[in-house]
Amino acid sequence: MWTKKGDILIDIIKKWLIYLEHEKKYSKHTIRAYKSDIQSFIDFLSESERSIIEADKYDMRSFLAFSKKKAPASTSMNRKISAINQLFTWMQKKEIITKNPLVNISRPRNQDQLPKFLDVDEASSVVENPIQHGHFASRNRAILELLYGAGIRVSEAAGLDIISVDLDQHLVHVLGKGKKERMVPFGEPAKDAVLDWLNNREKLSPKSSALFLNKYGKRLSVRSIWKICRESGRKNNISNLHPHAMRHSCATHLLTAGADLRSIQEQLGHSSLRTTQRYTQVDIAHLLNVYKRAHPSAQKKPAQQTSDKKHSK
């Protein structure tokens, strides 16, 4: 993948990626994305026969302008800036460069996107009617129950071992972003679903310690869980359902039921309360939609409004 302009550059990038994995504890997904962002920067610089070691603020501005034309989304741009900034910061620390060229370069502001979620009936329908049959229907229900009932991330679900789940205490031990550990509570439906899957799993007699297994007896992948979620949604007439929507549904329903933001923050493993606060906007937006559909004042027909205006004259 890497452009071969010399062993020094290749060695720098390899050492930086090892640093991200072992010291920063970044996920494989994040490292893969950062690697792709750095490669695009290297390719851009090579067009003018320059390298990362030589890059200055003018190179950065040109690259960002070029990237914005190809992918204008602010979130995509900010991730590229973050990847390059982390590499430059590391290189400066290692005295490979003397100055970070990203200093004083402003970032585009992310547009706040409200999380998508299911209503309670939709969420119940999906977790109670997953795809597949027999052992794997049992497994899929347990997965969906934990995504919705505990609000864990898809990567956290894929990484669970049998010993991660305490059925007596209704707790699951997860390894979140940045390798941060937390204990997450779940309800009785999730307990029943996991217990049912463990009984079925025992019949398969796999050697793996992983909680969720594929048909070969190996740990189920994140990609497979995405597919299970999407196809279970399709089975229940919900298009493009993804694991994050189940997690968002958990948070939104907790808030609607009266849970405080700090508790939801702990449940989801958010490092910042600001991230959790998005759900207050979702809850208000949902409330307004319900009002518009149900309240008599919101159902006034145009003809009635015209009649009211005439009488007022």
263-295 pLDDT, tens digit each: 888 888 877 777 676 655 544 444 445 445 554
169 & 245 share domain: yes
Q: What is the 3-state secondary structure (H, E, C) of 81-110?
A: HHHHHHHHHHHHHCCCCCCCCCCCCCCCCC
**Same-domain status, 70 and 197:** no
Residues 67 and 151 in one domain: no
pLDDT score recorded for residue 120: 87
pLDDT for the residue 304: 47
pLDDT band at 75 (very low <50, low <70, confident <90, very high): low
**28 catalytic, yes or no?**
no
For residues 264 and 172, the answer to whether their CB atoms sit within 8 Å is no
* 270 classed as catalytic: yes
pLDDT score, position 107: 62
Total of domains in the chain: 2
Q: Can you give the CATH number for the domain in which 44 is found?
A: 1.10.150
| CA dist 161 → 178, 194, 217, 221, 242 (Å) | 18, 12, 13, 13, 22
Contact between residue 283 and residue 294 where contact means Cβ atoms under 8 Å apart: no
Query: Which tops the pLDDT comparison, 40 or 5?
Result: 40
Q: Is 230 a catalytic residue?
A: no
* Phi-psi group of 269: left, alpha or beta (phi > 0 → left; psi -120 to 50 → alpha; rest → beta): left
Tell me the whole-structure pTM to 2 decimals: 0.61
* Catalytic site residue from 68, 116, 177, 234: 177
pLDDT over threshold 70, residue 25: yes
Q: Point out the catalytic residue in the list 80, 247, 248, 253.
A: 247
Quick one: DSSP state of residue 171? E
Same domain, 78 and 130: no
Q: Is residue 210 part of a domain?
A: yes
Mean pLDDT across 146-153: 93
| Structural domain boundaries enclosing 80 | 7-93
DSSP class of 129: S
- Answer yes or no: is pLDDT of 116 > 90: no
Q: Are 184 and 265 within one domain?
A: yes
153 is catalytic: yes
- Catalytic annotation present for 148: no
Residue of 211 and 300 predicted with greater confidence: 211
* Nearest to 209, CA basis, from 157, 166, 154, 159: 159
Q: Is 172 helix (H, G, I), strand (E, B) or coil?
A: strand
Whole-angstrom Cα Rg for the chain: 25
